[in-house]
C-alpha cells in the first residue's frame, strides 16, 4: 500500500431524514472524527448522501484494512494475537461492511 495512510476509524453510518424530492434510499452519511478528535465530518459525494449498503461499506473501510493487515502479518499487533482473534476482527469488519 505504500506510505499512504487512510483516515483512521472508526467511521460511522448515520441515517438522515430524506430531503423533499430526493430518492428515499440516498439518506445515509459517513461520519468520523477530525484530527483533533472533537468534530464529526461527513464524506461528501455530490450531496453527501449514499445508499445504506454503500455507506456501510465505506464506513467499514478502516476495519477491513486493519483486518487484512493483521491477516498478512503487516502490523505488530498481529504477533500478539491468536489466529482466532485475528479471524474475529475480520468477521466483525465483514459484518460491519455487509450488515449480515
pTM: 0.66
Residue 1 lies in a domain: no
Residue 3 lies in a domain: no
Residue 6 lies in a domain: no
Range of the domain at 37: 12-98
Q: What is the pLDDT along the chain (100 residues), one digit of tens a residue?
A: 444 566 777 788 877 776 677 666 667 777 777 666 655 666 555 566 677 888 888 889 999 999 999 988 888 888 899 999 999 999 999 999 998 8
Residue 29's CB is within 10 A of a number of other CB atoms, namely 23
How many separate domains does the chain show? 1
What is the sign of the dihedral through the CA atoms of 21, 52, 10 and 63? Answer: negative
Residue 47 lies in a domain: yes
- At residue 52, the 3 state secondary structure works out as helix
Q: In what order do the strands lie in the sheet with 28-33?
A: 12-15, 28-33, 40-42
Residue 14's CB is within 10 A of a number of other CB atoms, namely 13
Amino acid at each position: 500500500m505504500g506510505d499512504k495512510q487512510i483516515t483512521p476509524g472508526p467511521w460511522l453510518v448515520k441515517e438522515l431524514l430524506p430531503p423533499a424530492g430526493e430518492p428515499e434510499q440516498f439518506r445515509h452519511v459517513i461520519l468520523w472524527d477530525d484530527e483533533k478528535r472533537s468534530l464529526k465530518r461527513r464524506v461528501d459525494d455530490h450531496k453527501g448522501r449514499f445508499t445504506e449498503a454503500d455507506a456501510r461499506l465505506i464506513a467499514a473501510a478502516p476495519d477491513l484494512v486493519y483486518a487484512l493487515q493483521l491477516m498478512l502479518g503487516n502490523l505488530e499487533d498481529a504477533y500478539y494475537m491468536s489466529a482466532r482473534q485475528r479471524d474475529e476482527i475480520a468477521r466483525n469488519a465483514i459484518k460491519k461492511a455487509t450488515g449480515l
